[in-house]
Amino acid sequence: MKKKMLVTAGIGLLSILALSACGNDSSDTSADTEDGKTRITWLNILHTASPPNDTIVDKIEEKTNSELTFNWIPDASKEERLTTALASNELGDIVTLQIAMLKNSSVRNALKSGVFWDVSDYLADYKNLSKISEDRIEAASIDGALYGVPMQKDYARAGLVIRKDWLDNLGLEVPDTLDELYEVAKQFTENDPDGNGVDDTVGFGDRAPSDIRYTSFKLFTSYYGAPNGWKVESNGQFTPEFDTDEYMKAMNFSRDLFENGYLAQDFAVTQKTDQQEQFAQGKTGIYTGMIDIKNLKNMGKDIQPEMELVPVNKISDGEDGDYHVWSEGNGVGGLLAFPKSSVKDEAQLKKLLQFVDDLLEEDMYKLMTGGIEGTHYQLQEDGAIEYIDMDLWQQEVQPLSSSRPSEVTFSFKDADPEKELSNQLVKENEQFVVLDPTVPLDSEKNNEVGSEIEKIMIDATVQYIMGQIDEDGFKQAISNWRAQGGDQIAEEYEEAYKAAQ
């Protein structure tokens, strides 16, 4: 039987799922096939323009003795589509819940209300699932229950990309402290680093802070030693990061950069793709996003063939010499969850867990990352991966790469030396990562209004950086945040934290 791979765009998710069910040989999409294969439907997130064809999926089925049907949700509409699926109770056998989606109130409430299986007591029975680290288990749990298999990610991928050729042109070293970083931004703006005789460069590029975690400012808070989201005081009290001295220091650092023109003046309205293009075109010299270094090189190679880049992961505040970097999700990228509406009994759950356990094997990682050796990639003498046909890889493999249950258990060596260095620095970040203490905790008030009132502080942060409000104005924003639910969120986190001790 030919597999169905459907994209839930253009018509309602419920209709798509119904069509998918009708397309199978049996109305029971989770029953085993006649030849003993486990039939699996997987509600998954699509990060590419189109879903993959069957080339790699056929191999996955062969290696896992399964028959797979993917129902793809475009990334741009994932929360809306998932909310619809939850409301209709039409979810498939496996549901991909990304880390950001776990903060969605509908998803959070569904998890807590028993819509999905608690797999806490099952992982120890499987070869690979049993190796998931305890801290990742804790980060993925809610009130001590684990409603799916944690998708394992690196603890911290944040860092900078800096124009190495510009540093060399100006006789500057790779910065190691915030003062040195500030000087690099200044020189990149004022001292004609590209040597074209035109005042057309800016030190820091940046992007719109709709999600402030991916801006340069978030990195600055790490460099100053601010907490990641929340600080747990010695008495168990929770303090939001924006109500700390370190956060204010980071805002003043950004404000100084902005006032002097060392930070792009249009950062508040710049999207990520525009930020990348500005860097690739030689308009900016410092980019926030160390893991994007290879993409930046590829974007800029025809525009600036002389461009040399260096990834940087360690910047200290210059006082204690310590390094800090924030973690997104505490090493968890989300959950592979199993709805009770589809997965009727323990026997079926165990088959699905075995399927996920099989996906954690090295050959499966290679298949879902590189594709088929000799067709999509080949290994160089030093073991580095080299893609044979990038267009073919993007069509047949790339859409499945984000479905890997782990990005940390195995890895390919990258043929690009700067990208490989970036990969190694990501691993090094684990030595000084700052975790978010609220990831494994629950707050009903945060589920209800957290995202909404977070905008108060994002807006105030940007306004302060741009000089539109002063410190008193920022403190007023904190008061507004507290009054609109922030204090209650803090109290609920405190209660959940104490209960977990």
- Per-residue pLDDT of the chain in tens (501 residues, 90 and over written 9): 445 555 544 333 333 333 333 333 333 444 677 778 999 999 999 989 899 999 999 999 999 999 999 999 998 888 888 888 888 877 899 999 998 888 777 788 888 889 999 999 999 999 999 999 999 999 999 888 999 999 999 999 999 999 999 999 999 999 999 999 999 999 999 999 999 999 999 999 999 887 788 899 999 999 999 999 999 999 999 999 999 999 999 999 999 999 999 999 999 999 989 999 999 999 999 999 999 999 999 999 999 999 999 999 999 998 888 999 999 889 999 999 999 999 999 999 999 999 999 999 999 999 999 999 999 999 999 999 999 998 999 999 999 998 999 999 999 999 999 999 999 999 999 999 999 999 888 898 998 899 899 999 999 999 999 999 999 999 999 999 999 999 999 999 999 999 988
Question: Per this entry, what is the length of the chain?
Answer: 501
Q: How far is CA 258 from CA 28, 162, 174, 250, 456, in A?
A: 59, 18, 22, 12, 21
What distance in Å separates the CA atoms of residue 252 and residue 255, rounded to the nearest whole number? Answer: 5
Q: 241 with 295: CB under 8 angstroms? A: no
Identify the pLDDT of residue 5.
Answer: 55
Q: 270 with 264: CB under 8 angstroms? A: yes
Identify the pLDDT of residue 419.
Answer: 95
> Residue 154 corresponds to which tokens in the numbers above?
């690196």
The pTM score is 0.86
- 224, with CB counted inside 10 A (0-12, 13-18, 19+), is buried
Count of CB atoms within 10 A of residue 82's CB? Answer: 25
Helix, coil or strand: residue 110: helix
Q: Looking at the DSSP assignment, which residues form a beta bridge with residue 379?
A: 385
Q: Quickly tell me which residue has 């539109």 as its tokens.
A: 468
Q: 218 with 231: CB under 8 angstroms? A: no
What distance in Å separates the CA atoms of residue 407 and residue 442, rounded to the nearest whole number? Answer: 26
Residue type, 68: L
> Residue 172 corresponds to which tokens in the numbers above?
């500057």
> Residue 193 corresponds to which tokens in the numbers above?
């680093």
> Residue 396 corresponds to which tokens in the numbers above?
């047949």
Identify the pLDDT of residue 24.
Answer: 37
Identify the pLDDT of residue 107.
Answer: 85
β-strand 309-312 against 160-163: which pairing, if any?
A: antiparallel
Identify the pLDDT of residue 209.
Answer: 83
> Which residues have CB under 8 Å from 392's CB, separation 6+?
371, 375, 376
Q: Three-state secondary structure along 59-107? A: HHHHHHCEEEEEEEEEHHHHHHHHHHHHHHCCCCCEEEEEHHHHHCHHH
Q: 158 with 290: CB under 8 angstroms? A: yes
Identify the pLDDT of residue 144.
Answer: 86
> Residue 364 corresponds to which tokens in the numbers above?
């499966």
What distance in Å separates the CA atoms of residue 465 and residue 290, rounded to the nearest whole number? Answer: 23
- 132, with CB counted inside 10 A (0-12, 13-18, 19+), is buried
Residue type, 354: Q
Start-to-end C-alpha separation, the chain: 52
Nearest to 219 by CA among 276, 286, 273, 164: 286
Helix, coil or strand: residue 466: coil
What distance in Å separates the CA atoms of residue 128 and residue 149, rounded to the nearest whole number? Answer: 11
For helices 346-359 and 54-64, the axis angle rounded to 10 degrees is 120
Please list, residue by residue across 422-458, b when 16 or more beta carbons sit within 10 angstroms of its beta carbon and e when fewer do.
bbebbebbeeebbbbbbbbbbbebbbbbbeebbebbb
